[in-house]
Chain A
């Protein structure tokens, strides 16, 4: 069992690390200009063009590098908003409890029952479609309840721990108890949640951009590129396959890390 446990984490870290490295390089340098239409059209993958070219003669590998960068940046922003707000709400309600806790958790229950894409569509239709900032805001808001729930459970389970009680007796301030004593001990539980949250963010952003109400040109995320590529399925199927496979690999790598972390946590407990 021990070997498989590490296997998940290692494989995930290697895969994600490689992808991250490519994306970081892609921010500063791509083999071709991703928007320049200078090569021949519909070239199949070759040594010059690793993923071929599209109907405008653009190099697909360069486009995928840039697109993955956009996707990851947006996903990280979504995750940042949702995690900070969610953990803050979860920490306060989990630690203090009371009526506010009850009400917020009921609202939470109601919200988590709804598929996130439906909620995101409602929020985006209110904010206005077709802007990447609105996508980040909409999905950020939609994912808050998930983080709030997990962190509430984590904080509430530690509330009665002896070291927290003794800190309270020593007169440590509430803010310090929450941030210095409780937060580090919930990281173990929160980390796998973060990886799942990142994956949900990537997949949701891809769906919204695919639908044409997320990221729009001149920005190009992987989801938008897939909708572009669908029109060229007959002539350049490698475009759709490469941009879709990039999404899959991104999510797969982070998913493996999450799985590995969860197993490690179980192993310790």
Chain B
């Protein structure tokens, strides 16, 4: 428990530092938003009034605190480009991205763990070289290229879905899930290869250990040893890797959303960077950063929970 408390404290400190850095960076570059909103013909009085309305005339620390408390109340300020509250703009997009990541994560877990175990039982043999080559090839294919290939195969050729026409999630939930499935596939294929490979090599490493040799020499068959003893030791790093995957998924979904024309957080982020709508960019970056830090903490906590060896080490 002590470890968990310490980890959560670190999490909070990291979040504060990250949000402070993001706030400072975007405050520095965004220049004068009032000028941007009113254009070049704005009068001095008009500018001053708008600055007062946006709260830009107050000192920096107060604005930061205000922004941070607003962040947790769901008040992220106004978009200078769309003239709408940031939260209203991004709330539907957060939902889409969450579903996309969730689908991809499910796919990765459901496919990679059985795949890793299935291939782990086999010895290295002559195929070892081919295996490494295949792994390198998997890592060489960018997720968005897989996305384009999937669009071509299933969207353009087979017409299983219409590329670029994402159904409204609130009206056609099943249709939007079907659409998201193809994007999730593009996101998960490289990760499935990595996770399966990792599980395979951890299991192979464990199989060399003394306790396995003892168990086998006492008459257990390899399969039984694999499931009863080895798996317990091989899973913790894989689970931690999967938690880390949640962070990575968010990052690669930025590009994959663009491929499939999915109105998610990542695609909106890119659009706002091009529009220089810093108020929104700042909000999305901080949300994504919180997500990443949270996933990392979760990975540590889970790993520490399921691996007693770490629990002892972590307490000291």
**Taking beta carbons and an 8 Å cutoff, which residues of A are in contact with B?**
1, 3-4, 7-8, 11, 110, 113-118, 121-122, 124-126, 129-130, 199, 203, 206-207, 210-213, 226, 229-230, 233-234, 237, 240-241, 244, 247-252, 255-256, 259
Contact = CB atoms under 8 A, between A and B. Distances in A.
B296 A255 contact: no
Given A121-B254, A125-B281, A244-B145, A213 B274 contact: yes
A254 B137 CA distance: 11
Nearest to A1: B128
B273 A121 contact: yes
Given A117-B251, A118-B254, A252-B136, A207 B281 contact: no
Contact of A233 (B152, B252, B273, B288): B152
A239 to B, nearest CB: 10
A1 B156 CA distance: 45
A244 B129 contact: no
Given A226-B148, A251-B139, 17 more contacts: A8-B133, A114-B289, A114-B292, A115-B248, A117-B254, A125-B273, A207-B142, A210-B258, A213-B273, A230-B148, A234-B156, A244-B149, A250-B140, A251-B140, A255-B136, A255-B140, A259-B136
Nearest to B127: A4
Contacts of A122: 22, 25, 285
Contacts of A110: 14, 17
Interface in B281-306: 281, 285, 288-289, 292-293, 296
A8 B134 CA distance: 11
Contacts of B128: 1, 4
Contact of A247 (B14, B136, B142, B285): B142
25 contacts: A4-B132, A8-B129, A115-B248, A115-B250, A117-B251, A117-B252, A117-B254, A121-B269, A122-B22, A122-B285, A125-B276, A125-B281, A199-B140, A206-B142, A210-B144, A211-B258, A212-B270, A212-B274, A229-B148, A233-B148, A233-B151, A237-B156, A240-B148, A247-B140, A248-B141
Interface in B155-200: 155-156, 163
B140 A118 contact: no
A13 B270 CA distance: 37
B132 A259 contact: yes
A229 B156 CA distance: 13
B182 to A, nearest CB: 14
B211 to A, nearest CB: 25
A252 B137 contact: yes
A126 B255 contact: no
Interface string B28-50: 01000000000000000000000
A244 to B, nearest CB: 4
Interface in B245-278: 247-248, 250-252, 254-255, 258-259, 269-270, 273-274, 276, 278
Nearest to A206: B142
Contacts of A8: 129, 132-133
Given A113-B292, A113-B293, A244-B145, A126 B140 contact: no
Contacts of B281: 125
A126 B29 contact: yes
A125 to B, nearest CB: 4
A144 B277 CA distance: 28
B243 to A, nearest CB: 12
Q: Please indicate which of the listed interface residues A121, A199, A248, A259 has the most CB atoms of chain B within 10 Å of its own CB.
A: A121
